Amino acid sequence: MKIALAQLNYHVGNFESNTNKIIQHIREAKQNGADLVVFAELCVCGYPARDFLEFNEFITLCDEAAKTIATECHDIACIIGLPTPNNNPEGKDLNNSAYFIENGTVKAVVNKALLPNYDIFDEYRYFEPSTQFSCIDFKGKRIALTICEDLWNTIENPLYITRPMDTLIKQKPDVMINIAASPFAYNHDEERIEILKDNAIRYNLPLFYVNHVGAQTELIFDGGSLIFDNTGVLLDELPYFKEALTYYTLNDDASVSFEHASTIKAAHQSDIEQIHEGLILGIKDYFYKSGFKQAILGLSGGIDSAVVCALAAEALGPENVMAVLLPSRFSSDHSIKDAEDLVKNLGCKSETVAIAKITESFESALSPQFKNLPFNIAEENLQSRSRAVVLMAMCNKFGYILLNTSNKSEAAVGYGTLYGDMCGGISVIGDVFKTQVFELAREINKDREIIPENTIVKPPSAELRPDQKDTDSLPEYDILDAILYEYILNRRSSAEIIKLGFEEAVVRKVLRLVNISEHKRYQTPPILRVSPKAFGMGRRMPIVGKYLS
């Protein structure tokens, strides 16, 4: 049996595009002699569809798309994923389903059993878990078809009380096929490989795994679809962050053969290399799927805005990036020169709008209310908000989308100005710690100097008052990020972090800053997710909570 795996970039709710793409790949697979072509979980509607799933019309459009796809399935079968009505009056209204389509009709329906409801996942909000499992017979082979999480319960601390494959294996299948929508995080590829390898070994079956690729708002899908033999040996690995259509033959002895050379990487990319590729895809798809082409950002001469500008230029083309220099009376000459050098290196568009007179106008208008009180954070934030007013005005006038340039360290401790430097349409590096931003700059510069060296080596500063440095308000970033990593990603308490050797006063200050800044993060743009625990939909904290504050 010749099996084609289609690793594709779908668009949530874009039924015409998704259906056409699926049909195109069915036709291509058929021309290349495939018996079966496999698409990803919920490919018909895109993933995650979230509360679109609560609209009856949305589910109807999924059904209509599936019927259109079925008309293409003659002399070839396909597996597609879509939401379907739950005909049992008890339980949730929908199932997360896979259709096995053959000879123009749906031959079998498989419903997902293990519905993730942690971190970014909300599947139990919409779907009823399946409790019945049956294999599918096709071309003399018996297929155990499962959906994403259904194979993830082999971990040391199981999240669920059942394993669908424990039932399916009793029906003596010849092969496992798993369709998935598994989002990217820089450590997720190794985990994914180990879990799927464990399934192949546990059930002594070859395994074909198909994942999404592409970005849906803040979620990035990295592809990396996988094929294992029945002993757990990884036979092939589809490209990361790219679409692909590949072919395999499942032989009578359960071995898997294929004509193309294996695309398994000799060494997986480093975390920073993966983050770099993920962010490029995230920016590109956010703009393309939203119908926008041009980005704008404030370019300060600092490393955060420099990295975002370089990423945007790579993702969208420098001709589609407008970098606006917004010097204040506290901006240093070297920062302005660093920003100008970056623009020259990238070839992007640029404008300069000095904000000194704008902020002076605000201060003058507010002088009766400020009553000659000393300069403080109020005047500092007026500068940041003046910049935001300029940038948003240009967005409205010319149709740009504003890129937010705050990093994860700043977002964590609230080191930013609401309605100032924290505004934007999409936060590009809001899931990248400051220490990782420096690594990203080096990655961007690996072939030639794009980001000026001075931008990378100078002490970070918001430049909102004379001689200001970030370390005036925060610990050194290597210390700050290490504490934040333990608290945010590892969920350690202050006591546990202190036991690791960090100074108690610093730990308590940092954790307090994180928790009292929750109200700011509620009002920031969507953050491109590249880590296992990002701010946004995957980390849900009360604003008024007292714990650890």
Residues 6+ apart with CB under 8 A from 537: 120, 218
480: helix, coil or strand?
helix
CB-count burial class (<10 Å; 0-12, 13-18, 19+) for 368 = exposed
State how far Cα 209 lies from the chain centre: 20
- What is the spatial distance between Cα 421 and Cα 390, in angstroms, rounded to a whole number? 12
Structure-token pair, residue 57: 């019309």
Q: Is 545 annotated as a binding residue?
A: no
Q: Is 298 annotated as a binding residue?
A: yes
Q: Is 18 annotated as a binding residue?
A: no
Q: Is 538 annotated as a binding residue?
A: no
Q: Is 255 annotated as a binding residue?
A: no
Q: Is 305 annotated as a binding residue?
A: yes
The per-type count for the chain, helices as H runs and strands as E runs, is 16, 20
Q: Is 302 annotated as a binding residue?
A: yes
- What is the spatial distance between Cα 402 and Cα 493, in angstroms, rounded to a whole number? 36
Residues in the chain: 549
Residues 6+ apart with CB under 8 A from 86: 92, 93, 94, 95, 128
Q: Is 182 annotated as a binding residue?
A: yes
CA atoms within 13 A on the CB side of 414: 15
* Residue entry with tokens 């339980």: 91
Which residues does the annotation mark as catalytic?
A: 41, 112, 148
- Residue pair 66/97 in contact by the 8 Å Cβ criterion: no
Q: Is 191 annotated as a binding residue?
A: no
Q: Is 87 annotated as a binding residue?
A: no
- Residue pair 65/15 in contact by the 8 Å Cβ criterion: yes
6-to-9, 27, 384 alpha-carbon distances in Å: 10, 12, 46
- Give binding residues for L-glutamine as ranges: 118, 182
Binding residues: 118, 182, 298-305, 381, 405, 410, 520
Binding-site members for ATP are 298-305, 405
Task: Give the residue ranges of the annotated binding site for deamido-NAD(+).
Answer: 381, 410, 520
